[in-house]
Structure 1
């Protein structure tokens, strides 16, 4: 055993109070699932299971949105990002704010008035069944690729603080999540998310307060000072070069595209907004979501600066005290909390809470998509209640098992924050482009939109996968901020500490320029390419007859430029089917 191993082993003091706190968090999730699944007087039908009866309250839905989006990937990845590269990524907060306005004004009013369950039902109403199937398949494939990462990241943290294998803890946590999602439906998912959101905030605050206290008399001032001196705290980069990893343009413009897609048209998030009884409630939830996400991002960023202020003279990544980048925050937690029983367990419970909320959200959303888009449109006779119930719950179980198996693949890949956003963009950008075509451009028909979407997926697959291969092979490498090992008090292997920068530069120069584009531009690039191709395809497939497009399917700001026809019945859809509580006059919009 090396000295590094001795140090890590000494830090791994996950005592029985820590295990107790962690277990209580899992047990509470199980109890919530049991309550909503078995103890309510009213039996749960399809609308209750998938949409919470469309009568959910704003505050719990808001917290569920925060918990669903802020997974363990963000909790562990963002502090590491700030520690290694500085706060340039954090300027994406500007994109988050703009997203709130864009979604609330243009996208949310359309979906909230349609009384749909699957977001991709919109594509059939606006275009045709081909687009609905295309969107559902893309969503399914990306969820299958995304969920193993969600599971793997907190397992890394657990491994760092306990020494327990990743493949030992992931089955336990997955079984708990599958159980309460399967039996409790959306209400169980939302209310576990509420608890898990408080757990996340508590864990991050705990680390921030204890880590700052341990710095001594200067404390928080030292964190800011060290951040400025090491250039981790810096002004936005206004360079227009799209190959620079983070600039103000990639964070604001690229961030708006990424966050709007994720919130406005993704089934994982929009299903929560549609479970609220009114558009006003949806906008209130959106506002709370934006504020909550920004607060969590600031807290994660501060913890990244705090880690640097603590380890500025001996970088744990260089010495391999942390085996991979995403174990940096758990290492820091072990260091500052190892003598306080129960607190390490609280932190790990917070990280797993983030993962469980994202996992349960995706599982619940997938059950909605599979039922509404892969079964109902293709059966001759209406499904019985028993068949619907069996399909919804089977999807949760089978997808959970599949993603658990795919964890073995994910652990061979790179840093999760960039990896996740890069892979998501393969489908997210083109899908966002298709929805934007439908909502803003009534003259675009289904054939043009489908062609744009397919070519967009091909383009983004080519760029994203080649870029990830370049990063994995070392051909694409991004310079980190200053990381020193001059003041280390323990021995470590120095064989691979010094990198041949000339060789790396040579490899980077051989990479095709499109592969070097910042991953923050991927969603934007995929969406814009899809839109441009669809517009050009009008030369082949012609224009849509705007008079036949239901105005309810178009964003309110475009409706006033259309003819004065009333919202009419198209594609088997009629606004008269919308419940009164969901209707809103155009004047109110």
Structure 2
């Protein structure tokens, strides 16, 4: 790095690459809206693409939806600051796909419902369905602003353009094509954006490795500073990342995100049959593992590149989340169009997640909250207009919430902490219904509310303790020995500042690793739900309700079927 710190600016070619990506996304929305304008069932066309989607776009859409810009920027920053333990998350991701195919997806597919929360009404009652829908909306309203903030941060880093103005432009494009084209527009833009996303990450990883001097040198520099760590077997739940929290803890978080999420159910039901849905899930698993591994590898490449001159300590960037865009601009000195490709990749990841969220929220609000209040069914045209209006409204709310995101800690931790508030309760309610025939609606309702409140208290308390310096996580060592003299003089001993800032110990639950939040919420729903069900009168299993339960427990339900048939025969006699 030169002493002036001058870098290549975002030029005409970069803006052209970026504008083309946004333009293609908008055109796909227009095209899909035109194609589906004469559909006889506007609601089904808008939410599940008329159940005529093919494997490729749905697979790409699922990958893009669950790998947001938070992962693209946050995972490299995580590897740089804390080491590679979180990389073991790919183990959990493998088991999640298997669980989805065997346990949850068959239930939704047999019922053929366009809202996953319709299941809660069929199994429990309308009040529980409404609670599930509200929890989902809260989840998306907490998560989407983070997703918007990420690409805006990257764009601000490489161009200097105001972060909030960029966020507004991104959202406007996303709202536009999601509103016009529905699920088909979302899915096909996701497919294009996934390719761009992979392209951007792969190019940065290859060029970065070449700059450092090869994979062996990248690995050596990270080993020398203790960053390579995959099997920290410490059972202490307050340790931020261990093998147990990353693999076992995150397993449930991913399962909640994928298996009972409205976005997941919509896409799987867009496939013509269950077999194709299962193939799609398998491809999704390989895609997610690939992009997560690429992002993690990029993180150790970035550290190897800044091995002797840490840009955070020398105040060249403000936050670790800016490491990747900063590194891209370093690489871009001799590579035209690279910043444009990178920013397009990060925006692609964010746009796909946001569009999925907006499409899903519009479907949930319409089907679960508006339709039951309508005295007479509305026309297809009116239903379509209502859902499009909902996309605009929810998108605008998300833009307004972006301002609070800047106050949060690292992207990965903040994202998973906030998603943990709703992930555990939602997965718990669905699992209570699918696995426990004795559970009743009162148990599901009270269990869900208690779980949501409990995890929200822990999550917000933990974020507050982190922001005030009460909780500080040990970070891996960095160096400024190779920096120019002017940068070395600007470096501050941050460790001393942090140590002096700590005055009191936080409440013990606040110190628990954020990766266990989903388990806490999940188990709270199951335990409280079953206790309340037994107190208030357990649900009586009926053979005709068998399709409401996961195939895993059908072998136990057969004995109940036989008992019921014997009781009927005895009554007849």
On whether the aligned pair clears a TM of 0.5, the verdict is yes
Pairing partner for 1:163 from 134, 157, 160: 160
Q: Which moved more, 1:553-562 or 1:497-506?
A: 497-506
Aligned to 2:437: 442
Question: Which SS does the other structure have where 2:336 is aligned?
Answer: coil
Cα deviation, 1:358-387, whole Å, max 9, x if unaligned, reads: 010001001110110011112111122232
* CA distance, structure 1, for counterparts of residue 301 and residue 313 of structure 2: 18
CA contact (8 A) 1:314 1:486 kept: yes
CA contact (8 A) 2:60 2:194 kept: yes
Aligned to 1:413: 408
Report the Cα offset of residue 209 of structure 1.
1.1
CA contact (8 A) 1:50 1:186 kept: yes
Question: Which SS does the other structure have where 1:185 is aligned?
Answer: helix
Pairing partner for 1:554 from 549, 555, 564: 549
* CA distance, structure 1, for counterparts of residue 355 and residue 435 of structure 2: 32
Report the Cα offset of residue 333 of structure 1.
0.3
Determine whether 1:184 maps to 2:177: no
Aligned to 2:527: 532
Pairing partner for 2:144 from 139, 143, 147: 147
Cα deviation, 1:136-172, whole Å, max 9, x if unaligned, reads: 0111112111111110111000001011111121111
Cα deviation, 1:294-338, whole Å, max 9, x if unaligned, reads: 000110011000001010111111112111121110000000113
Aligned to 1:13: 9
Determine whether 1:258 maps to 2:253: yes
Question: Which SS does the other structure have where 1:546 is aligned?
Answer: coil
Question: Which SS does the other structure have where 1:316 is aligned?
Answer: coil
* CA distance, structure 1, for counterparts of residue 265 and residue 218 of structure 2: 38
Determine whether 1:228 maps to 2:223: yes
Cα gap change, 1:531/1:495 in structure 2, threshold over 3 Å: closer, same or farther? same
Determine whether 1:347 maps to 2:342: yes
CA contact (8 A) 1:413 1:472 kept: yes
Unaligned runs of 5+ in 2: 562-573
How do 1:304-383 residues align onto structure 2 when only pairs under 5 Å count? 304-383=299-378
* CA distance, structure 2, for counterparts of residue 129 and residue 506 of structure 1: 49
Question: Which SS does the other structure have where 1:21 is aligned?
Answer: helix
* CA distance, structure 1, for counterparts of residue 200 and residue 493 of structure 2: 34
* CA distance, structure 2, for counterparts of residue 432 and residue 132 of structure 1: 13
Cα deviation, 1:422-458, whole Å, max 9, x if unaligned, reads: 0111111111100000011111001011111110011
Aligned to 2:19: 23
Determine whether 1:123 maps to 2:115: no
Report the Cα offset of residue 493 of structure 1.
2.8
Aligned to 2:109: 112
TM-score normalized with structure 2 length: 0.94
Aligned to 1:201: 198
Aligned to 1:38: 34
Q: Which moved more, 1:453-462 or 1:249-258?
A: 249-258
Question: Which SS does the other structure have where 1:562 is aligned?
Answer: helix
CA contact (8 A) 1:148 1:404 kept: yes
CA contact (8 A) 1:442 1:549 kept: no
Cα deviation, 1:39-86, whole Å, max 9, x if unaligned, reads: 557447111111011121112101100000100000000000011111
CA contact (8 A) 2:76 2:295 kept: yes
Aligned to 1:215: 212
Cα deviation, 1:79-111, whole Å, max 9, x if unaligned, reads: 000111111011111111111111111111101
* CA distance, structure 1, for counterparts of residue 383 and residue 22 of structure 2: 28
Aligned to 1:472: 467
Q: Which moved more, 1:67-76 or 1:30-39?
A: 30-39
Report the Cα offset of residue 547 of structure 1.
2.2
Report the Cα offset of residue 125 of structure 1.
0.2
Q: Which moved more, 1:348-357 or 1:30-39?
A: 30-39
* CA distance, structure 1, for counterparts of residue 209 and residue 52 of structure 2: 43
Aligned to 2:394: 399
* CA distance, structure 2, for counterparts of residue 92 and residue 343 of structure 1: 29
TM-score normalized with structure 1 length: 0.92
Determine whether 1:244 maps to 2:244: no
Report the Cα offset of residue 505 of structure 1.
6.0
Pairing partner for 2:282 from 284, 287, 290: 287
Report the Cα offset of residue 282 of structure 1.
1.2
CA contact (8 A) 2:314 2:492 kept: no
Report the Cα offset of residue 277 of structure 1.
1.3
Question: Which SS does the other structure have where 1:11 is aligned?
Answer: coil
CA contact (8 A) 2:80 2:300 kept: yes
* CA distance, structure 1, for counterparts of residue 540 and residue 91 of structure 2: 38
* CA distance, structure 2, for counterparts of residue 534 and residue 140 of structure 1: 22
Question: Which SS does the other structure have where 2:233 is aligned?
Answer: coil
CA contact (8 A) 1:49 1:186 kept: yes
Alignment length, in residue pairs?
A: 557
Aligned to 1:573: none
Unaligned runs of 5+ in 1: 567-589
CA contact (8 A) 1:547 1:563 kept: no
* CA distance, structure 2, for counterparts of residue 40 and residue 360 of structure 1: 18
* CA distance, structure 1, for counterparts of residue 339 and residue 311 of structure 2: 19
